[in-house]
Amino acid sequence: MPCLQSENGSGMDYLLFVAAEPSGDQHAAHLVRSLREKRPELEFGAFGGEGLRDAGCHLFENLMGSATMVVGFLGGLTRYLRTLRRFDRVLAERQPTAVVLVDSPGLNFLLARLARWRRVPVIYYICPQIWAWSPWRRSKVIRWTDLLMPILPFEEELYRDCGVPVRFVGHPLADELAKYSPEAGSELRRDLGIPTSRKVIGVFPGSRHQEVQGLADVFCRLIRRMAPAPEEPASVVVSCCRPEFRPVIEEAGRARLLEVEIFEGDARRLMLACDLAIVASGTASLELVYFDKPMAVLYRTNRFGRMMFRYFGVTPWMALPNILGCSVNDGQATVIEELFVGDPCDEVVRHAHALLYDGEERARAIDRLRRVKENVLRPGGVEKAATELLSFLVEKGLLG
């Protein structure tokens, strides 16, 4: 049952945000900025990262370290319990008007229970992806929240008539990506000394150490097997979001006799600059959809993980562009190629090569990407989320 009984004893309206992943941290930060514009008197706290801190939140704990650092089981468990205790202490001392959770159900389901126990309303922004994995989690989402703000059109239907208000707001990526000029790609090519006539393969191995370590060699194998003809050379540029990832990427390139350029700047500039993307599963695939970039998506998992997906997955795909493409591409649901970690099969190699050099196949792929973009990635989602959140709090008497 909904809580809706916050007893903020601090004399001010206070929102507490939680984002445990870098992408969620950025999305939450944009929402905080929009809320500040509408209600300057609001105060904000956060368990998140630098994005939320820079947006004006008091950062109680930086959760980004636990998402990217390799720690042992006991070390990870100790950090997890410490976060729970600190979160509960903040609830007790600050008595926030509401808690706003962003994605990351593994942690946020526990925090939602703590908040409800403390009689603090819970708002879920960017709802857990139950449509891709573990649909039974729907009952948890409903049980521990007071407002759901999904960002994908079909998610609204999943939660309809659940007893909890559901307000579709749109994907926040569109607002972020709309700020990028197409010229940013051309500028990066010039900075790297790559001629405009030369093809660029952009490699995006992820933002976590485990991802980069597990995928860098597979990426290089795939590109090596594509074997572009001498008269059609291509530059390989790898996005390196953290300096400590550089040695792993360099070693993977050397092992496969592949010459790569490592780029440590804004990955979205490389997305605009590339002709083909080889990308780890995640938000980056949707960013590439916005920029109309053909791609192949790779997943780091073992045989057990593949078996679990086969038996418990809700859709035949794991990549969000393919799931979204099911309803917008006239039955042509496969928008991009998906590949589990292992030796790249001949069909994937052929398809990746065609996306780079075959004009007709490349044009068809871009057309499918644009259909998804036009239906899902429309600007205005962040402002709508802020409006809906404030409207809900006012309607329930939680905000003056």
User: What average pLDDT does range 202-210 have in this prediction?
Assistant: 84
Q: Is the pLDDT of residue 68 over 50?
A: no
Query: What pTM was computed for the model?
Result: 0.80
Q: Is the pLDDT of residue 46 over 80?
A: yes
Angle at Cα 72 formed by Cα 67 and Cα 78, nearest 5°?
A: 75
pLDDT the model gives residue 283: 82
Structure confidence at residue 153 as a pLDDT band (50, 70, 90): confident
What is the DSSP code string of 167-180? -----THHHHHTT-
Q: Give the rounded percent of residues in the chain with a pLDDT score beyond 90.
A: 49
In the chain, where the domains are located: 14-175+379-395, 179-376
Q: Are 398 and 121 in contact (CB under 8 A)?
A: yes
Write out pLDDT tens, residues 114-123.
999 999 999 9
CA distances from 66 to 22, 28, 72, 332 (A): 11, 18, 11, 39
Share the mean pLDDT of the chain. 84
* Sign (positive or negative) of CA dihedral 80, 116, 124, 387: negative
Tokens 């780079």 belong to 356
Residues contacting residue 221 through CB under 8 Å, at least 6 positions apart = 256, 343, 344
Please give the CATH topology (third level) of the domain spanning 179-376: Rossmann fold (3.40.50)
291-294: long-range pairs with CB below 8 Å, 24+: 291/177, 291/180, 292/366, 292/369, 292/370, 292/373, 293/202, 293/369, 294/336, 294/355, 294/356, 294/362, 294/365, 294/366, 294/369
Q: Is the pLDDT of residue 60 over 70?
A: yes
Write out pLDDT tens, residues 265-319.
999 999 999 999 998 877 889 999 999 999 988 766 555 555 555 555 555 556 6
Q: Give the rounded percent of residues in the chain with a pLDDT score beyond 70.
A: 81
Assigned CATH for 14-175+379-395: 3.40.50.2000
User: What average pLDDT does range 382-389 have in this prediction?
Assistant: 97
Structure confidence at residue 61 as a pLDDT band (50, 70, 90): very high
On the question of a common fold for 14-175+379-395 and 179-376, the answer reads: yes
